Amino acid sequence: MADASLVERARRGDAAAFGALVQRHFRAAYAVALAQLGDPTDAEDVCQDAFVRALERLDQCREPAKFAGWLMTIVRNCAHNFRSYERVRATEPLDPASMNGPGPAHAARDAERGELRALLQTALAELSPAQREVVLLHDMEGWKHREIAERLGLSEVASRQHLFNARRALREGLGGRNVLREYANED
Amino acid sequence: MKTDDRIDFSSLDPTGDPERFEGIVRSIGERAAAELAARRARSDVFGEISRWWRPMLAAAAITGIISIGTLTQVEPNAPMLASREVGLAEAIGVPTQLAEWVRSDEAPTTTELMLSLEDES
């Protein structure tokens, strides 16, 4: 079902339609939040807030077909508010030293995965917010440059440039670890 | 399958663990439940109004036509209303003579007024 139909149904209080929107767009929202905050747990919390806020303001979504782009703006605002709140508490969320991953439970469950995760977070922290957004949306969520450009308000050229620079910096930061991903479809 | 320069972020991806992701979606659903319920209630009210507005409009039109017809028939008998008003004044206890003076716009003399009140008592 298209986003426009789901948005229309969610406006009338259809929980299933809202759930479908969450399932469809959570990863992109998470990528944007992670790009802004650097911490996966904070990014998840911000995403949850952003979806609830999006529902509350759903009547302001003038182009339901472009729900994804509209949602990303809300996610960014929520992340910005969260970061401001954290600053008040004298915390620096993007400081690599403070990025300790999701907590000991996850690390114990999969130590290697936890280590890679910590390395990725540290390497991501060295990128600019725009580079993080582009590389996460492209490589994690699978958005194409055209979609990134449309939904984030960038040019496609800028998106490609950010991706190129981000990947190069990440590879350097990860020190030659194998973090390349197998994929099925060309961009 | 091919390999390009894509970075593998699966270790950071919460949707990779279906159980965990389901928990996240459920949590968002729970937090959104009140807003969804409010939207359903609003939607029901507007739905009822939109379902009833045509019959209500038809009923209002019929009531209007009947009212206009009734008023048109009543209008020629308007003078009779005056006599009904006199009857009403008497019914609520206004002395007949006083009611007639009010209608005629003639001021009674003091003697006539005293006589009238004596008759009533």
Q: Compute the distance between CA of residue B97 and CA of residue B23 in angstroms, rounded to an integer.
A: 89
In a domain, B18, yes or no: yes
List residues of chain B with CB under 8 Å from any CB of chain A.
Answer: 1-15, 21, 24-25, 27-29, 31-33, 35-43
Which of A49, A73, A94 represents a domain boundary (last residue)?
A94
Where in the sequence is the domain holding B25, given as residue range(s)? 13-120
Q: Give the model confidence (pLDDT) of A15-68 as tens digits.
A: 999 999 999 999 999 999 999 998 899 999 999 999 999 999 999 999 999 999
Token reading at A92? 């620096």
In total, how many domains does chain A have?
A: 2
Q: Give A129-172 pLDDT, tens digit per residue.
A: 999 999 999 999 999 999 999 988 899 999 999 999 999 999 88
Q: How far is B29 from chain A (nearest CA, A)?
A: 7
The answer to whether residue B1 sits within a structural domain is no
CB contact under 8 A, B29 and A15: yes
Q: Is residue A10 part of a domain?
A: yes
- Over residues B64-94, the pLDDT tens digits come to 888 888 887 776 655 555 555 556 677 777 7
* Domain identity same for A8 and A90: yes
The dihedral through the CA atoms of A144, A32, A71, B39 has a sign that is positive
How many residues would you count in chain B? 121
pLDDT cut 70: percent of chain A above it? 81
Q: Is residue B8 part of a domain?
A: no
* Same-domain status, A89 and A131: no
One domain for residues A5 and A78: yes
| Residue A167's CATH number | 1.10.10.10
Supply the CATH number for residue A9's domain.
1.10.1740.10
A113 within a domain of the structure (yes/no): no
Its pTM stands at 0.66
Amino acid code (one letter) for A146 = R
Q: Is residue A102 part of a domain?
A: no
Task: Check whether residue A77 and residue A161 sit in a common domain.
Answer: no
B20 belongs to a structural domain: yes
Question: How many structural domains does chain B have?
Answer: 1
Query: What is the number of CB-based contacts under 8 A between chain A and chain B?
Result: 110
Q: 3-state SS of chain A: helix, strand, coil percent to 5? A: 75, 0, 25
Are A40 and A34 in contact, with CB atoms under 8 Å apart? yes
Judged by a CB distance cut-off of 8 A, whether residue A86 touches chain B is: no
Domain boundaries, position A60: 1-94
CB atoms inside a 10 Å sphere around CB B101: 16
Please report the residues numbered 4 through 43 in chain A whose beta carbons come closer than 8 angstroms to any beta carbon of chain B. Answer: 10-15, 18-19, 22-23, 26-27, 30, 34, 40
A63 falls within a domain: yes
Disruptive mutation site among A8, A9, A22 for chain B (greatest number of B CBs within 10 Å): A22
